[in-house]
Amino acid sequence: MRFKSLGIFLIISSFFLTCILSIWKIMATLQGLSFTYLNVTPVFLISILLTFAYVFIGNKINHLIKIFLLSLIFSILYFYLNETSPCWYLFGVFLITLFFTNKLKKYNMQSLKEDFISEKIIFDFITLFGIVFFAFVILFPFYIMLVTSFKTQIALLVNPLDFSLDFTKSLTELFKSYFVIFETYNFGRYILISSAVSIGTVIVTLLFAIPAAYTVARLNFFGKNFLSTSILIIYMFPAIVLVIPLYTVFSQLGLRNSIFGLLIVYTATTLPVAIYMLQGYFKSIPKEIEDAGIMDGQNWFGIILRIIIPLSLPAIASVALYVFMIAWNEFLFSLMFLDSPKSFTLSRAIQYLSGDAETPRQYLMAGSVIVTLPVLFIFIYFEKYLVSGLTAGSVKE
């Protein structure tokens, strides 16, 4: 049993270390280092040596000294097995090994005898590996987007792997793509339009949704159940089937190419979610508070304005942010309704840019960074509100 779990431990942990080192090597390659081999097998073998040495030494020497020494030896071995590489790269290898051996802390010859230890080892390392994997897979495209916007098309065609930034260049040189898209491609205007449409959508949606949600949550009227179920079903209905009738009607009414037309469509498509999210929250407000308001002679307007809204500010904030993000990211309707560059939103403008094959990719990516940054900032800053809003929006548990 012990040898089996020892074997599993050695293989799984070494596999994990090899993966992390390979990712590190890939990242270093993207900084312009010319590696041509991943050297998976030798790295795997010395990783097995390392982990074996780690368990073999056990608790005989101080943990810190042990991991420090082992990592140092590992890095030196790694250096001999690999192609020539700069100091900072090896230092990275050293730090990764240090982190890795520190993670091994809870394993020694004793702990390998425990029940289900091999399953636990597999779970532990899959967790670690999964986190590294998910973080890498998710952040990598964002990283490429950001870095490409600082490079030039020619440099990338010469060496598509060199994403190193030259910080010795002046700032204007480095941020050139951003200056170009603002000056030549008029991105300032598109930012304004996008903001106006998104903020407008938020305001109008809330104006319609708050009274409606209050009614659905509180008042009794004919067709209430029908309404509250149809809200969800409408939410499931796809934008693509609305496009053709809306396009024809908007053409006849002259609402295409107008921000107003876009605003109406965005409001109508976000209203069901907004009502659904808000009414769930309104229901949780104790009814007694409202009764007190009725006693004071408030009408429904007063109740909503003076009681409901102040009490549900967090929910309203989360709905507002959610609607803002939907409107800001929306692409289908802006593609259909906007033909003239005068009324483009950011998303549409980037798509228009990409339609011209001559457009250098750094401009496209600079535009993408500009459209992505606001949403990511809002998301990171208000994550709590948004996450609770997102989950409340579709599931009732």
Subset of 19-58 contacting another protein (CB under 8 A): 26, 29-30, 35-38
**Interacting stretch for another protein, rule CB under 8 A, among 55-63, 81-89, 113-121, 179-187?**
113-121
* Residue 397 interacting with another protein (CB under 8 A): yes
* Residue 171 interacting with another protein (CB under 8 A): no
Rule CB under 8 A: choose which of 116, 284, 289, 296 binds another protein: 116
Site string for another protein, 367-396 (x = CB under 8 A): xxx-xx--xx--xx--x--xx--xx--xx-
SS3 content of the chain, % helix, strand, coil (to 5): 80, 0, 20
Cβ 97 to another protein, closest distance in Å? 19
Binding to another protein (CB under 8 A): which residues in 309-348?
A: 325, 328-329, 331-332, 335-336, 346-347
By the 8 A CB rule, do 27 and 93 touch? no
Binding to another protein (CB under 8 A): which residues in 351-370?
A: 351, 354, 361, 364-365, 367-369
Cβ 224 to another protein, closest distance in Å? 8
Token pair in block for residue 176:
């050139």
Element (H, E) at 66: helix 63-81
Chain centroid to CA 313: 25
Binding to another protein (CB under 8 A): which residues in 53-82?
A: none
Rule CB under 8 A: choose which of 239, 259, 285, 309 binds another protein: 239
Cα–Cα dist 208/206, whole Å: 5
Partners of 162 in beta bridges = 31
Question: Which residues 6+ apart lie within 8 Å of 124 measured at CB?
Answer: none
Q: CB nearer to another protein: give 49 or 311.
A: 311
Cβ 232 to another protein, closest distance in Å? 10
Cα–Cα dist 171/302, whole Å: 55
Cβ 150 to another protein, closest distance in Å? 14
Binding to another protein (CB under 8 A): which residues in 218-237?
A: 219-222, 224, 227, 233-234, 236-237
3-state secondary structure of 331: coil
Q: CB nearer to another protein: give 69 or 388.
A: 388
Residue 152: name the closest of 358, 360, 357 by CA. Answer: 360
DSSP state letters, 216-250: HHH---TTHHHHHHHHHHHHHS-GGGTHHHHHHHH
Rule CB under 8 A: choose which of 43, 50, 262, 265 binds another protein: 265
Cβ 188 to another protein, closest distance in Å? 18
DSSP 356: S
**Interacting stretch for another protein, rule CB under 8 A, among 87-95, 183-191, 269-277, 308-316?**
269-277
Terminal C-alpha separation, the chain? 44
By the 8 A CB rule, do 375 and 326 touch? no
By the 8 A CB rule, do 348 and 367 touch? no
**Interacting stretch for another protein, rule CB under 8 A, among 87-95, 105-113, 130-138, 185-193?**
130-138
